[in-house]
Amino acid sequence: MSPELVIPADLLPRDGRFGSGPSRVRDAQVQAIVDSQPRILGTSHRQAPVKDLVGAVRAGLSAFYSLPDGYEVILGNGGSTSFWDAATFSLVERRAQHCAFGEFGAKFAKATASAPFLEDSDVIEAPAGDIAVPRPSEGIDVYAWPHNETSTGAMAPAVRPDGIGDALTVIDGTSAAGGLTLDVTQADVYYFAPQKSFGSDGGLWLALVSPAAIERIGRIAASDRWIPATLDLATALENSRANQTLNTPAVATLVMMAEQLRWLNENGGMAFATGRTSESARRIYQWADAAEYAETFVTRTSARSSVVATVDLLPSVDSSVLRTILRRQGVVDIDPYRKLGRNQIRVGMFPAVDPDDVSALTSSIDWIVERLRT
Ligand SMILES: *Cc1c(COP(=O)(O)O)cnc(C)c1O
């Protein structure tokens, strides 16, 4: 192979970060951290400056999602993975149904399936690259699925199924939030973390919760179920209403998140964000459909994600060689999900990613492949 290949500078993306999380951080977010010194950084999270920052994040999300009356924004420590445990304790009354069509959907299914106080979970599976949708069924009180399966690049409808009574829809928006359109009334709980479309660091979870979810959280908290304090959504709700968290949050992450929300909302909110992601998606899938050595992994067109694209490569183009050449020139993190084990690239196209950089990425790949094959 030709690891010496040097891509011409004018072909390269201006910013080479295409990770699916952590993802590209804008300069203004780093500047916001600098600007928060010394008024916010290094100060108590129980005092007004940090509480106002938490308030700004909550208000920014309410505006971005045009939250209907009665919905609230709650947050806590531990990222989306911790939220699965919190939801297992505080949202599922007896039995959950999960759609699992990749790593993340399957992980939440595993969390409820192993809870000794719940009935066996109902898991609807689909092969990687496709999607599964919820199936209304007797005795299910939580329907859970990922809006965007980050491990495979497949997106699913965020639509409340008909005929589920007072069961809750609990949707994993970790990689979708901020980059895919959402009618929030379809979700009772829409949860995510700051390190994907919001271009911040990991470690927090955030959730938009409906009145029905708030009622469920209160009812389970009042029952005799033991719930660890860090995973108790009733405690998170109470703290969030006071712009607080149970224990110390990562303040710099909140600063970056508030800045990203300001940027998104001032430029047109969800329409702006989804305009950028769908334009990036249009470009990458058009390229993959045209390139004779590449093929879009997700065959069902409506399930092709606008925030995480997965593209298979012919065996004659080794993804790891390609990625090594790109990485040397600062174009990073287009690795496929480890466990998928495919000769693939996976490209994060969150709103901070300039669609022109997606085009520059595909041009750079074409340039490399042409030389690798001669
Ligand atoms: C990244 C991701 C997670 C895990 O998020 P953490 O904050 O690292 O726990 C969960 N679900 C989806 C869909 C993701 O993309």
Please give the number of the atom of ligand 1 that sits closest to the Cα of 147: 13
Burial zone of 229 (CB within 10 Å; 0-12 exposed, 13-18 middle, 19+ buried): exposed
CA distance 88 to 102: 19
Q: 168-172 and 142-146: which strand pairing? A: parallel
Name the closest-CA residue to atom 12, ligand 1.
174
CA distance 300 to 172: 21
Q: Does residue 197 line the site of ligand 1, with CB under 6 A?
A: no
pLDDT of residue 3: 57
Pocket probe for ligand 1: among 23, 75, 81, the residue whose CB has the most ligand atoms within 8 Å is 81
Which DSSP category does 61 fall into? Answer: H
- Quote the longest CA-to-CA distance of the chain: 69
The alpha carbon of 306 is separated from its chain's Cα centroid by a whole number of angstroms, namely: 12
Q: Does residue 104 line the site of ligand 1, with CB under 6 A?
A: yes
- Distance between Cα 354 and ligand 1 center (Å): 23
- Distance between Cα 302 and ligand 1 center (Å): 22
- Any idea how long the chain is? 374
pLDDT of residue 4: 83
Pocket probe for ligand 1: among 174, 175, 182, 307, the residue whose CB has the most ligand atoms within 8 Å is 174
CA distance 178 to 199: 10
3-class DSSP state for residue 74?
A: strand
Nearest of 196, 203, 185 to residue 82 by alpha carbon: 203
DSSP 309-330: EEEEE-TTS-HHHHHHHHHHTT
Total-model pTM: 0.98
pLDDT of residue 374: 74
* Contact indicator for 257, 198 with CB cutoff of 8 Å: yes
| Token digits of residue 338 | 């480890």
Cα separation values, 96 from 40, 134, 175, 232, Å: 41, 11, 22, 18
Could you give the angle at the alpha carbon of 221 between the alpha carbons of 217 and 226, nearest 5°?
Answer: 130
- Distance between Cα 48 and ligand 1 center (Å): 30
- Distance between Cα 124 and ligand 1 center (Å): 20
CA distance 182 to 263: 19
| Token digits of residue 349 | 């196209």
Q: Does residue 152 line the site of ligand 1, with CB under 6 A?
A: no
Q: Does residue 23 line the site of ligand 1, with CB under 6 A?
A: no
Residue by residue, pLDDT tens for the chain (374 residues) are 555 899 999 999 999 999 999 999 999 999 999 999 999 999 999 999 999 999 999 999 999 999 999 999 999 999 999 999 999 999 999 999 999 999 999 999 999 999 999 999 999 999 999 999 999 999 999 999 999 999 999 999 999 999 999 999 999 999 999 999 999 999 999 999 999 999 999 999 999 999 999 999 999 999 999 999 999 999 999 999 999 999 999 999 999 999 999 999 999 999 999 999 999 999 999 999 999 999 999 999 999 999 999 999 999 999 999 999 999 999 999 999 999 999 999 999 999 999 999 999 999 999 999 999 87
